[in-house]
Structure 1
Amino acid sequence: MTHKARFYVVWKGRNPGIYATWVDTEAQVKGFAGAKFKGFDSLKAAQLAFEGAAQPKAEQGALWHLTSPGGEMPEQPIPDSLSVDAACSGNPGWLEYRCLDNRTGRVVFKEGPFQDGTNNVGEFLAIVQALAWCKEKGLKLPVYSDSRVAISWVRQKRCKTNLKPTEHNQKLFALIRWAERWLAENPYDNPVLEWNSRLWGQISADYGRK
């Protein structure tokens, strides 16, 4: 069972401070780019942490960082959000990817199979397509992926794959060019978050083929 914090310190959010409930904390950090916050067992510990430093050190404990990979997440994923996942039969191999609405469980889109692809390429394309779909619909839903590599590529606006072009993956490389161009030309407000498989299990969009 996940231990629940009693107090939360928000160092970077809409209104930095100490909050007694996750609901109040989430209101300060959800959708806020670069939000930084952490849970504590006591008010005293929270006060010392908040007054002691504006930026906590990593060795002081797990920092909940909604928009960067590697940090701890809240006890549950944000319900109103999207999740993406890719499945690839080899490296390279037959690739497909999809996006799921976490509130309803509905498949928002699915693509593939594509020959001579990789899992990270699929995750990258799925994230960008989810962002493009949200922008078209006027939605600011967070997008979850369990691929740190793909999340970093999205932030850098470039698919840094070592995959080689072949006669079979020309359509896949056309999608990569589209995704990079879309990222270069379209600002977006949707947080791209890492799915915490350790706490939450397999990502909701998972193909279940592992």
Structure 2
Amino acid sequence: MKRSFYAVARGKNPGVYKTWPECEKQVKGYTNARYKKFENEADALAFIDRYKDIGKKKVLCVVYYIYSVSGVIKNASVERWVAEGVPVVYTDGSCFGNGMAGCKAGYGVFWGDNHPDNLSEPLDRGPPTNNRAELTAVIRALEQAEKRGYKRLVVRTDSNLLIQSMSVWIHSWRRNNWKTASGTDVQVCITFSRISGHVGVYGNEKADELARSGAERYSSHRCDAKTRF
């Protein structure tokens, strides 16, 4: 039986889908959706790269702070955001043996099943730490969103560092002209939505898999040891 590949260049979650029902879910009700059926995956990916939304405007991140609602409520919220056309990305970092000699770090970015922008990479700069991997994952996701011209974005992460940064510390940083309590420059300014890690949230689990895969390919020669966080 001949396989088909449904390319969604503009839709709720751009990517390559193997069945029409899956593709239809991503384009139905989406303004100016662009999609096409192909006989091979390479052509489908080329179509996405050609027609994906590219814009010159910077990313405007939509921030949703979620602290104590149930997993069902949170997943329902994501479905609502997707229905409104807001891209949702999951990010995660991983470090095997974090804080110990010989540790390995990597990061993952998950936009959706078969999405061409999904990333699984080893940490390529700085010493390998879990926090550095978490931050790198979010930075890469924001860079991808900017290239696609997204005007709204929801970044979902289970990183406590990012949660504290954007929900608590950010207010004092702003008052202090983007300085920390010790007077040093704040290095990271990221907006995000909080999720609990390893509780069965699909996107988070996929981002974790990508991060672990990236960490497994980590080589110590990639990173210097001049700075650490």
Whether TM exceeds 0.5 here: the answer is: no
| TM-score, L = length of structure 1 | 0.44
Which one has a larger percent helix, Structure 1 or Structure 2?
2
| TM-score, L = length of structure 2 | 0.41
Ranked by relative contact order (alpha carbons within 8 Å, sequence separation 6 or more), the top structure is 2
